[in-house]
Structure 1
Amino acid sequence: MKVTKLVGSCDLKDCPTIYATDRGTLLVQGERPADHGLDTPAHETIVEIPEQLIFDLIRKGLRGV
């Protein structure tokens, strides 16, 4: 899978980031909250990212790499 960084909140590797893949999907890197109270399947997870990251992605354009 080819992964391309679209937008992130810093230049380090441990910050919330959104990536595009060559499969036509997005990967989201963020904190894994423990207090969300949602029931998720074992093969899925929930991550938390700042709202601003989504706004930055929209402003930049999804394919504006």
Structure 2
Amino acid sequence: MRMRFLGSTSEAGACPTLYETDRGTIVVQGLQVTDAEALGDLRDVLDGEGAVEVPRELLTEIARRVLFDDQATAFPSSKETPTATG
């Protein structure tokens, strides 16, 4: 799997950061949610999954950029089904 940096709302390249993959998925880099009460609100968590907190502004800015401004440099769509380890 290859990843392309999409953006961050943090200073100096710190977390959270979003990446686009060549499999048509998004990877989130950030601090893990460790609050037990918050983790209790998650549904159907599989082995190997975790939760990362991301500011709403980051998601909306990247969605706007990827969907409307950046089509020429985006990875082509993949028909392959992504996996957590793939």
Tell me, yes or no, whether TM beats 0.5: yes
Q: How does 1:41-52 map to 2 (within 5 A)?
A: 41-52=46-57
Q: Which has the larger share of helix?
A: 2
- Gaps spanning 5+ residues in structure 2: where? 74-86
Aligned length: 64
Please say which structure displays the higher CA radius of gyration.
2
Say what the alpha-carbon RMSD is for the aligned residues.
2.0
Q: How does 1:24-39 map to 2 (within 5 A)?
A: 24-35=24-35, 36=38, 37=40, 38=42
TM-score normalised by length of structure 2: 0.61
- Gaps spanning 5+ residues in structure 1: where? none
Q: Give 3-state SS (helix, strand or coil) of 1:5's partner.
A: strand
Q: Which has the larger share of strand?
A: 1
